[in-house]
Chains A and B, each alone.
Chain A
Amino acid sequence: MPTDLDLRTVEPRSPGQPDRRKPERGRPEREFVRFTRMQRTLHACMIVSFLSLATTGLTLKFSYTRWASMVSRFLGGFQVAGFIHRSAAILMFGVFIAHLYNLVQLKKREYKTWRGLILGPDTMLPTSQDLHQFIATMKWFIGMGPRPQYGRWTYWEKFDYFAVFWGIAVIGSTGLCLWFPILFTRFLPGSFINVATVIHSDEALLATGFIFTVHFFNTHLRPEKFPMDTTIFTGHMPLAELKRDKPLEYEALMASGQMEQHLEEPQPEIVVRTIRIFAWIALSIGFSIVVWIIYAMLFAYR
């Protein structure tokens, strides 16, 4: 293990406890960079877009609740809500395209070939290793084994990633049908609009429900990270956390001696605080929506 990393400064920090460590002699301890600026921006845009889409869309889906009409009125009426919904959809498409562009850039910069990107060690595609890790995780859950040694991307992170691809394809395409029904009924039957409505609305329910429960748990509500993991916003993650959470990646980087390239000084205090406020707002909206969905589905369903 290289000594120049000064691991003594990287202390484990108890969850939920504010970081009270002070930089020693003006030199702050460095953190592992997990996400690029582009990825963080796209995720933030996705949050804004997704929350807007969910809020405005659900007013229609649960129009029979008093909540829905209150939210709709607060937003300025169904037409304004519709405008917000479509604007957010454009933003979502933008995020999607930007991500694809980013992939191309990534390939050019680091992998040279698509093969390298897709089949490399940091691939987003499911691999046999993921299957083994999944089985090992199940064993760990039921107390029949240790916690598996996860790498850069765990299988549930890969699942989340492709869920977004699937969601954008399904919700986006049916959404366009509903947006331009006259154009689409030039070659589709009129009743396809009805089918598209069902798919759009139920798939959206799946997406919101999944993101605001399972995804939130994986990243925020996991007791060891409670109440919030800001890695996706700051892009940084304490080295100790990387060592604990993603031991495979940590070890690989240490072994290859490339760790130094991945360390950066922490974000300024003000940036972190702003990020926390933003994240808390997003989190609260998400939870409110979950409560609303549960209320509408279980207690007010018609």
Chain B
Amino acid sequence: MPTQTIRNLFAPGIALTLFLTAGILQAAPKPPQTPSTDDCLACHSDKTLTTKRGNRTVSLFVDGKKFSSSVHGSLACVSCHADLEGKDLPHSTPVARVECGTCHGDEQKQHSHSLHGKAIARGDALAPHCVDCHGNHDIVPVRDPRSAVAPLKVPFVCGRCHQEGTPVQTSRQIDQHNILENYSESIHGEALLKKGLVVAANCVSCHTPHNILPHTDPNSSINRRNIAATCTKCHAEIEEVHRKTIRGELWEKEAHVLPACVDCHQPHKVRNVYYAQGMADADCMRCHANERLKAADGRSMFVSAAEIAASRHAHPRTQAVPVSCSQCHSEVNVSRVRPCETITHPVDCSKCHEDQGQQYQRSKHGQLLAAKDPNAPSCRDCHGTHRILDKRDPESRTFSTRVPDLCGSCHREGQKAAVRYVGTQHQIISNYNESIHGKGLLKSGLTVTATCTNCHTAHMVLPKSDPQSTVNPKNVPATCGACHHGIEEQFEQSVHSRLVTKTDKGLPVCNDCHSAHTIRRTDETGFMLDIMEKCGKCHEEIAKTYFDTYHGKVSRLGYTKTAKCYDCHGAHDILRVADPRSHLSRANVVATCQKCHSTATRRFAGYLTHATHHDPKKYPFVFWTFWGMTTLLLSTFVIGGMHTLLWLPRALQMRRELKAEEAKEEAELAREEAARSNGAGEEGKSAGEENHHAH
């Protein structure tokens, strides 16, 4: 194409040049009203000749040699600088802009209707004129490698304005980015720039040289309707390799319903990696539709077309153009009877899913795979193979409610990931299932509830110790804050935040109080009682003193009605007591007490909630009262105890004497009785026995 266009472009020009030259030669004898090229060069061959335009100093030097060897070399200066015709020298400045259209009428017309021409008409200072691309006095034929618009140079000519950072790219509405970079890495750019294949498409091949129109313009070469025609200028019979998608002629006939080339092969980014061999799925299914197809090692090689059709990669709801077999199973070679026999690598999802691929490689899973660990999970272990579904599809293995089971297949107790794990978390899956998140997700079916991947990420799973891990203590607030944003905001203001307190000691983050996998509702008794132990992990002394007061004692008994740490100090918005914003500052403390003690007064708030009798400096009254009472107690018990102990032997002695006396009396009585009964005969012997004691 370019050759032809250039011929079209220059043929009239050359003819005109010849004609004009002839005219000038004829007019030579006439008085020298019109300055000749030599006249002009008399001044303009001076390299130091400059003028001021605005603030700029512009060189007015014209290289006579270059000019004479240019396509316009045989023309007089005034042929183009027509306003100087008949003027005396030296002429006045400035000189009018050269009208190339006088000779190059078609090009000029196209240019005027193009984006660039319209921008000029608007007075856009950034809009390119002919000279901006073609140069001025040194224009050579486009086939000449020295030409400014030679195929190899076109990308850079256009790129002068259309690359990142230029005023055009930053201040004008252009929805493509990194155009030059992307192009130079594309299959076209690579062919042209790296391999020097000058027929490879460059900017003007698709955009045309002069008739550059926005893709929304129906006449544009890159409009949806025209794009197929534009591409097939080079890629003739491309339908053959797209027969499944395009069904041949439909492509051009119904361009408005069918995907356009650029839908798959994005403009400027066209790659060759996965479109290498134009394989159609039908070719694959010729063999793989057979349910009995087996690999050498006995694996079934059957591929269910229905599964693929329902998958994320083919379903019309999620995928405008189905992904073909060979896009994933690359390295096929259509020239073989079995095109797949050239495949040497497993499917690499990261060809399309580049970000996920990079994250995975960084992750623990990816590191294990790189280390050739047999337990390392790859994409397919979580996502499956042909039946990959959108994660929003309830049937999908990665649908939120199914994620715990999916991760659990390795991380459940006894499974392969759990047995090699050496950290502190155990029963991860069963604990999660009983946690508030697990219940929300699995019992209430609340699919936005946090599941494994919300905290650990799906692809960049890293151990807690890794500073980049989402569960690294440094990152935990942000991780939880992804859902609990309000809490994160409060927390990051609090004394526990790393942003507020700079310390070497470990500051707590969400999971230190709420745990990781056993997160409970905060209004559960168990949580409310546990939290005091959690605070006590770091605030050991002060937590002990809390348990010396009424609040703490009742809590210790297992009731949650009395004030616990967070009732006074706040939960996430804990601040130093000295901070005026603190719940316990002088301004706020009465209101804090009033949360429970509705009639609390300032003096009531003077109650020492952490008073302990162990600290004579801080709580002298309590300390001395305690020791006073203890002294009283001990002395009373010592005196009372001594009295009792001394008494005991005497009391025992008394008891013995009493018994002896009693026995003596009994014996006397028995004697009396016997004497009496002897006198009264034998009657009532047993009655006598009974009456024995009554006497």
Question: Would you call A214 and B655 a contact (CB within 8 A)?
Answer: no
B537 within 8 A of A: no
CB-CB under 8 A from B89, the residues of chain A are none
Residue pair B652, A185 in contact (C-beta under 8 Å): no
Interface bracket on A = 35 or more
Distance of A122 from chain B, by nearest CB (Å): 23
Q: Confirm or deny: B264 has a beta carbon within 8 angstroms of a beta carbon on chain A.
A: no
- By a CB distance below 8 angstroms, the chain B residues around A129 are none
In the complex, B621 has a CB within 8 A of chain A = yes
B484 contacts the other chain (CB 8 A): no
Q: Is A116 an interface residue (CB 8 A)?
A: no
The A contact surface, by secondary structure, is helix
State in angstroms the CA–CA spacing of A186 and B603 once bound together. 7
Scan B512-553; emit 1 where CB is below 8 A from any A CB, else 0: 000000000000000000000000000000001001011011
Is A69 touching B601 in the complex (CB atoms < 8 A)?
no
Distance to closest chain B CB from A136 (angstroms): 12
Knowing A21-B694, A63-B554 are in contact, say whether A12-B600 is a contact too (CB < 8 A): no
Number of A-B residue pairs, CB cutoff 8 Å, is 152
Alpha-carbon gap, A210 to B492, bound state (A): 55
Q: Say how far B39's CB is from chain A's closest CB, in angstroms.
A: 108
If A15-B655, A63-B553, A190-B605 touch, whether A195 touches B630 (CB-CB below 8 Å) is: no
Contact A195 B558 (CB under 8 A): no
* Chain B residues bordering chain A, tally (CB within 8 A): 56
Complex CA distance for A11 and B597, rounded to whole angstroms: 65
- In contact, A197 and B550 (Cβ under 8 angstroms): yes
**Selected contact of A202 from candidates B601, B605, B630, CB within 8 Å:** B630
The answer to whether A185 touches B604, judged by C-beta atoms less than 8 angstroms apart, is yes
Considering only residues 545-587 of chain B, those with a C-beta below 8 Å from chain A are: 547, 549-550, 552-554, 556-559, 561
In chain A between 203 and 250, which residues have their CB closer than 8 angstroms to a CB of chain B? 203, 205-206, 209-210, 213-214, 217-218, 222-224, 226
| Residue from the list A69, A185, A194, A197 in contact with B558, Cβ < 8 A | A69
Nearest B residue to A141 by beta-carbon distance? B646
Tell me the nearest residue of chain A to B604, going by C-beta: A185
- Chain B minimum-CB-distance residue to A218: B644
Q: How far is the CA of A81 from the CA of B608 in the complex (A)?
A: 24
> Quick check: B604 and A181 within 8 Å, CB to CB?
yes
Task: From B62-70, B174-182, B360-368, B633-641, give the one contacting chain A.
Answer: B633-641
Given contacts A181-B607, A191-B608, A195-B625, contact A214 B558 (CB under 8 A): no
**Contacting pair B662 A60 (CB below 8 A):** no
**A223 in contact with B654 given A198-B613, A214-B643 (CB within 8 Å):** yes
Among the stretches A71-79, A105-113, A280-288, the one at the interface with B is A71-79
B599 within 8 A of A: yes
Assess whether A79 is in contact with B561, with CB atoms less than 8 Å apart. yes
Instruction: Please tell me if the beta carbons of B608 and A194 are within 8 angstroms of each other in the complex.
Output: yes
Chain A stretch 115-167: residues in CB contact (< 8 A) with chain B: 138, 140-142, 147, 156
Within the complex, the shortest CB–CB distance from A149 to chain B, in Å, comes to 14
User: Which B residues are in CB contact (< 8 Å) with A199?
Assistant: 625, 629
Q: Are B632 and A206 in contact (CB under 8 A)?
A: yes
Residues of A within 8 A of B547 (CB): 63-64, 302
A24 at interface by CB-CB < 8 Å: yes
- Give the contacting residue for B655; candidates A68, A194, A209, A223; CB below 8 A: A223
Q: Do B621 and A222 touch (CB < 8 A)?
A: no
B273 sits at the interface (CB 8 A): no
Please indicate which of the listed interface residues B600, B603, B648 has the most CB atoms of chain A within 10 Å of its own CB: B603
Query: What separation, in Å, do the CA atoms of A22 and B650 have in the docked complex?
Result: 32
Measured between beta carbons, the chain B residues less than 8 angstroms from A156 are 643
Write the nearest CB–CB distance from B320 to chain A, whole angstroms: 65
In the A-B complex, the 7 residue pairs with the closest CB atoms: A190-B606, A202-B629, A141-B646, A214-B640, A63-B553, A223-B655, A194-B611
Given contacts A181-B604, A191-B606, 4 further A-B contacts (CB under 8 A): A60-B553, A202-B630, A224-B658, A302-B547
Q: Give A residues with C-beta under 8 Å from B.
A: 11-15, 20-22, 24, 59-61, 63-64, 68-69, 72-73, 77-79, 138, 140-142, 147, 156, 178, 181-182, 185-186, 188-191, 193-195, 197-199, 202-203, 205-206, 209-210, 213-214, 217-218, 222-224, 226, 302
The interface of chain B, by Cβ under 8 A from chain A, is: 544, 547, 549-550, 552-554, 556-559, 561, 597, 599-601, 603-608, 611, 613, 619, 621-622, 625-626, 629-630, 632-633, 636-637, 640-641, 643-644, 646-652, 654-655, 658-659, 661-662, 665, 691, 693-694
Contacts A/B (CB < 8 Å), 29 sampled: A12-B658, A12-B661, A15-B659, A60-B550, A64-B556, A69-B557, A72-B557, A77-B559, A147-B654, A156-B643, A182-B601, A186-B601, A190-B603, A190-B606, A190-B608, A191-B607, A194-B607, A194-B621, A194-B622, A195-B622, A202-B629, A203-B632, A206-B632, A210-B637, A213-B637, A214-B644, A217-B644, A223-B648, A224-B654
